[in-house]
Chains A and B, each alone.
Chain A
Amino acid sequence: MSTLPAVDRREALRRIGLTAGVAAGFTAAGFALHDRRSGGAYFRDLANAEVVTLGDYRVPLKEGTPPLAIAHGDDPARLVEAAVAALGGMAHFVKPGDVVILKPNVAFDRAPALGATTSPAVLGAVAKMVRSCGARRILVIDNPINQPEGCFHKSGIAAAAAAAGCEVVMPTPARFATLAVGRFRGADGQLSGQRGDALDTWPLFYDPFKTATKVIGIAPCKDHNLCGASLTMKNWYGLLGGRRNQFHQQIHGIISDFPLLMRPTLVVLDATSILMKNGPTGGSTADVKPGRTVVVGTDMVAVDSYGYTLFERRTPAPEYLARATQRGLGNADWQSLQPTELTV
């Protein structure tokens, strides 16, 4: 009936092969992406989403060295030098080739004189000492409450960091990852350790930690409206992201989790000036008094317990200090540690 020419065998095979290939492709892709699970599995995966962990950045002190040193005097750089020297010198902590994170508190868009942020002089002094020990890179990081560029600029931290050859890393969203607080990853990839009292997993400004080998926290000495005082422990709040305004619902639990969250090389309490009231933002030089003090230590609970005495209040020390001590994360009884105290 038909007068049509038929396709030849080669053409027929080509067309059938092409169609079969497309059919196989769709079928394979369909089954590769097929999710036949129930809803419970989706939300379980969501709860068990990938987490990162932090390293242990501590360096043991020489036998018999108290874990905090207090220096009084007028020159911030000499205060830092003297206190670090009392702990064994910066070369004990930072080795050539180290990548060092400096974590100042740059939370607010404030001038240095207002005492709401780490003083540029103290940051600069720490950075210079770290550099002289042969650090390969020094990263200055914080996730401020106010607009980050303005905070780094107006606090003077950006200029001090640049002068000391440090790199400021901005807290862009892509640089955050979910941290399993208090956990570390073994060689087999399994997590161990203990989760925090208030914090299990939380977004952390993680990107700089991919390469860091040492971490130094440099916190101002500030009044705080809710927890009493913002010192070296509270300073780690600034590395977290997400809905961290919820932390105020359990502020002492959160802050007492921070020694678990971060095991830093050193913490520096910059009490060259002290924000006595209206914290943690301040806003008037009338809120600030000269402190003439820098404390450096490896036990942040002890450093902060000493730091709280600088406010000369009759009120008891913040609850988070007692809680951290109770959990074995530090020692609030700083006097029993017989700290080195010197005037320069």
Chain B
Amino acid sequence: MRITTVRVIVQSVSFTLFLALLLLTCFSGLRGFPVSLFLELDPLTAVASSIASRTVYQNVIWALFLLLPTLLLGRFFCNWLCPFGILHQLTGWLARRRTPDKQRLETNRYRPLYGLKYALLVFILVAAVFGSLQNGLLDPAPTIYRSFTVAVLPVVDATVGGVYVRPHYHQAAWLVGALFLLFLGLNLLIPRFYCRVLCPLGAFLGWLARFSLFRIERNVARCTDCDLCLKSCEGACDPHSALRKAECFVCFNCIEDCPEDALRFAWLPPIRPDGDRGGEVTAAQPTRRQLAFGALAGALFVGWARSSGETSENFRPSCIRPPGAVPEHDFLARCIKCDQCIRVCPTNVLQPALLEAGLEGLWTPVMNMRLGYCELNCTLCGQVCPTGAIQRLTLDEKHGHGAFEGRGPVRSGTAFYDRGRCLPWAMDTSCAVCEEVCPVSPKAIFTRHVDIVDRQGQPQTIKRPYIDPTRCIGCGICEHECPVVDLRAVRVSAVGESRSKERSLLLQSGNAEVSAPS
């Protein structure tokens, strides 16, 4: 069997695995499968998140399974395993299958533009040094997970069904979807545009590839300089000349396409056997200006994002993080915007943030109680989070039961009444659905019987609801079930969350019990 046939089979298996794991990332599917596998294998996620958070969380150590072979073989991930790369290759192939060879090989010559991805890598690493993890904006693993969760699966469900029991909605799905289409569409402009120009993971693997001991090697004596090796070259790595190790995807198309059998995958070939005509360009070739631009942009991005105060003093009430989320500054150092938590969330409460968490927090998970609520007996978001932005909690930990009695329940916010909109408060109308659904015991929502005289002059007794802030965990089911469905009469905001003292509401320390309203 030809090596490229093996490669196509491996790619198909890899993409099928990605899809299967994605479909299993749901209430009935989990069963211990490593559903975040491609995220945990991603060396850029591992390196950037460990710089930002000083932690390699649980399975993220698996990134070594990719990183170490790259040091031996080069950037093979890009053309053998990457599920996003597979889509780009497929799109490019579909677009050019009738293009004459001569034209095709011209599209596969190296261009200085391909140095841009190194600038984006530097941007990500510099931002990570300042504690802001941004690889998820472009890293292909989080990007394809997010695109499928937010933009593809809901459309599949709406057309053929079968993905959700109740339909799921995602804030600004159009934005994620449009970017996904744009990234695929750019293949019409330049084949593998995303992989060659934008991909920061590719840039990181390209940097690692300079140490690789194998590479494509050209026998200059046999080569007739026909350049046909460029015809299907995925990486635009100049196999017809000095091979650019950092750009080569190890797709082996050049070896197949060479009519003279002048190319082979060689162990430790000499760096420069034949002057400038053969050999290799060992290191990536971004311009100094590209790198400086990336570093400056990374530093300014964090500086400006933080100076808005939106991650600290000026935080938004709608920045409600799910239970298990670590304190905000650490959250922003860990979350890779893969949106696996959003994928697995059974109630649809988790949404990809736009500006709720500031510029840095784009596409990180926030809770929207209009679309869902946090299920009391559920910790799935923490189970699938690859980087520990949402920690794996047991139900006892979440509820503050058993060994965690002293610490109390994990709170994600606090509910507040809008008495001008609440039916018993404003309209003499009985309701108290919020009290009914409040899941904690004792209930955080309690009612007081009030004797009123209605407008017909008849005496009535009505139950008016109140929040006990010592019991409220911010799950939002009261807001979700409130019959005032446009702007709910009870709404949760982020204050009172237990992960941070800065966003707490009640004084809770010392020996004294906090007294509940009586």
Where the two chains meet, the residues of A that have a C-beta atom closer than 8 Å to any C-beta of B are 2-7, 11-12, 15-16, 18-19, 22-23, 26-27, 29-31, 33-36, 38-40, 42-43, 46-47, 181, 195-202, 242-243, 246-247, 249-250, 253-254, 257
Cβ contact within 8 Å between B211 and A18: yes
Q: Which of B208, B266, B510 contacts A257 (CB under 8 A)?
A: B510
Q: Which of B61, B217, B407, B510 contacts A199 (CB under 8 A)?
A: B510
Cβ contact within 8 Å between A197 and B512: yes
Residue of A with least CB distance to B383: A39
Residue of B with least CB distance to A3: B221
CB of B511 within 8 Å of the partner chain: yes
Proximity string of chain B (65-83) to chain A, C-beta cutoff 8 Å, 1 when within and 0 when not = 0011001100000000000
Give min CB distance, B355 to chain A, whole Å: 25
Cβ contact within 8 Å between A243 and B71: no
Proximity string of chain B (214-241) to chain A, C-beta cutoff 8 Å, 1 when within and 0 when not = 0001010100000000000000000000
- The total of chain B residues at the interface (CB under 8 A) is 51
Residues of B within 8 A of A22 (CB): 71, 208, 211
List which B296-346 residues lie within 8 A (CB) of chain A. 324, 326-327
Cβ contact within 8 Å between B510 and A29: no
CB of B165 within 8 Å of the partner chain: no
Q: Which of B67, B213, B507 contacts A15 (CB under 8 A)?
A: B213
Nearest 7 A/B pairs, CB to CB: A39-B391, A200-B509, A246-B507, A198-B510, A33-B56, A19-B211, A39-B392
Residue of B with least CB distance to A246: B507
Residue of A with least CB distance to B410: A43
Cβ contact within 8 Å between A253 and B61: no
Give min CB distance, B53 to chain A, whole Å: 9
With A5-B270, A31-B56, A198-B512 already in contact, 11 other A-B pairs whose C-beta atoms are closer than 8 Å: A15-B268, A30-B56, A35-B57, A39-B382, A39-B391, A42-B326, A197-B511, A243-B501, A246-B505, A246-B507, A249-B506
Q: What would 7 A/B residue contacts be, using CB atoms closer than 8 Å?
A: A16-B268, A23-B68, A35-B388, A47-B407, A201-B509, A249-B514, A257-B510
Give the most central of B56, B72, B393: most A CB within 10 Å: B56
Given A4-B219, A4-B269, A18-B211, verify A42-B509 contact (CB < 8 Å). Answer: no
A-side interface mostly: helix
Residues of B within 8 A of A19 (CB): 71-72, 211-213
Cβ contact within 8 Å between A27 and B64: yes
Q: Which of B71, B213, B509, B511 contacts A202 (CB under 8 A)?
A: B509
Residue of B with least CB distance to A181: B510
Residues of B within 8 A of A249 (CB): 506-507, 514
List which B391-446 residues lie within 8 A (CB) of chain A. 391-394, 397, 404, 407
A38 to B396, CA, bound (A): 13
Residue of B with least CB distance to A21: B211
Give min CB distance, A227 to chain B, whole Å: 14
Give min CB distance, B222 to chain A, whole Å: 8
List which B470-513 residues lie within 8 A (CB) of chain A. 499, 501-502, 504-507, 509-512
Cβ contact within 8 Å between A2 and B397: no
Cβ contact within 8 Å between A30 and B64: yes
Given A18-B211, A39-B392, A246-B506, verify A26-B64 contact (CB < 8 Å). Answer: yes
Proximity string of chain B (241-283) to chain A, C-beta cutoff 8 Å, 1 when within and 0 when not = 0000000000000000000000010101110010000000000
Given A4-B269, A15-B213, A19-B72, verify A196-B64 contact (CB < 8 Å). Answer: no
List which B27-65 residues lie within 8 A (CB) of chain A. 46, 50, 54-58, 61, 63-64
Residue of B with least CB distance to A251: B507
Cβ contact within 8 Å between B46 and A30: yes
Residue of B with least CB distance to A38: B392
Cβ contact within 8 Å between A247 and B507: yes
